[in-house]
């Protein structure tokens, strides 16, 4: 059963990792996918080709969601190419980890700009078309770190906690127009980035999780599919942890 047949969705930061997994699973469920990348040209092109072979419309756009004007222009282009936008997954993000004593102002501001401002920018850009069509699902990717904090990640935790507060406010503002806004908070998700880490360290993290394993990008993607589909039409303003029980 294709839960997202004929829906047009936007996924930011989809050339690798969790974003790539979201784009793949959404296409599997029949969604047409417009996705952004920042600098990974070849992986983005490869993904576009892969999704198109799955029988859906897919297009990669080089765009920086943390730039207000670029976000506006990107949505304008997507509307020209796809006609409508049914769901947006704000996934783009970065880390610049350091202890507070060593964290520079630039590193703090940059993480806030990319991780939090981008969510505002893209949400602002899709508001008018969603208000006009009187439906839409906005899904913002936060992190368990935004809920519990983490030493060495004050900037990242602040940005991801901000995403949750922003999303709850957006849900309250837009609910009367049938536009929903929810948050997915991944825990330890195994991607090409974690594959570069020491195996002993990674296994230690796995053992600290009740399910005794790391998550996969598809685990996050499946939660997003639910929130983008008609199975969740009475769900808004919520935060769904995809963490193997880490915060239980």
Catalytic site positions? 156
Rounded Cα distance, 14 and 215, in Å: 18
What 3-state class would DSSP assign to 75? Answer: helix
Using DSSP, state whether 197 is helix, strand or coil: coil
Paired with 183 in beta bridges are 140, 239
d(CA 125, CA 67): 11
Number of H helices, E strands in the chain: 9, 7
What are phi and psi for residue 32, nearest 5 degrees?
A: -85, 135
């Amino acid at each position: 059963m294709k839960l997202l047949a004929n829906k047009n969705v936007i996924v930011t930061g989809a050339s690798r990792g969790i974003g790539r997994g979201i784009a793949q699973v959404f296409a599997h469920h029949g969604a047409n996918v417009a996705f952004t990348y920042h600098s990974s040209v070849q992986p983005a092109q490869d993904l576009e080709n892969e999704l198109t072979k799955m029988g859906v419309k897919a297009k990669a756009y080089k765009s920086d969601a943390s730039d207000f004007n670029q976000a506006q222009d990107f949505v304008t282009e997507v509307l020209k190419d796809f006609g409508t936008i049914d769901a947006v997954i704000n996934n783009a993000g970065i880390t610049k980890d350091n202890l507070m004593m060593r964290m520079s102002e630039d590193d703090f501001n940059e993480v806030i700009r990319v991780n939090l401002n981008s969510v505002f920018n893209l949400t602002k850009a899709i508001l008018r078309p969603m208000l006009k069509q009187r439906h839409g699902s906005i899904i913002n990717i936060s992190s368990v770190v935004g809920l519990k904090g983490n030493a060495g990640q004050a900037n990242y935790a602040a940005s991801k906690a901000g995403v949750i507060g922003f999303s709850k406010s957006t849900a309250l503002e837009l609910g009367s127009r049938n536009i929903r806004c929810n948050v997915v908070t991944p825990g330890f998700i195994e991607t090409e980035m974690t594959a570069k880490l020491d195996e002993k360290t990674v296994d230690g993290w796995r053992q600290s999780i009740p399910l005794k394993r790391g998550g996969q990008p598809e685990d996050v993607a499946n939660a997003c599919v639910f929130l983008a589909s008609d199975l969740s039409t009475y769900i808004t303003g919520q935060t769904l942890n995809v963490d193997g029980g880490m915060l239980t």
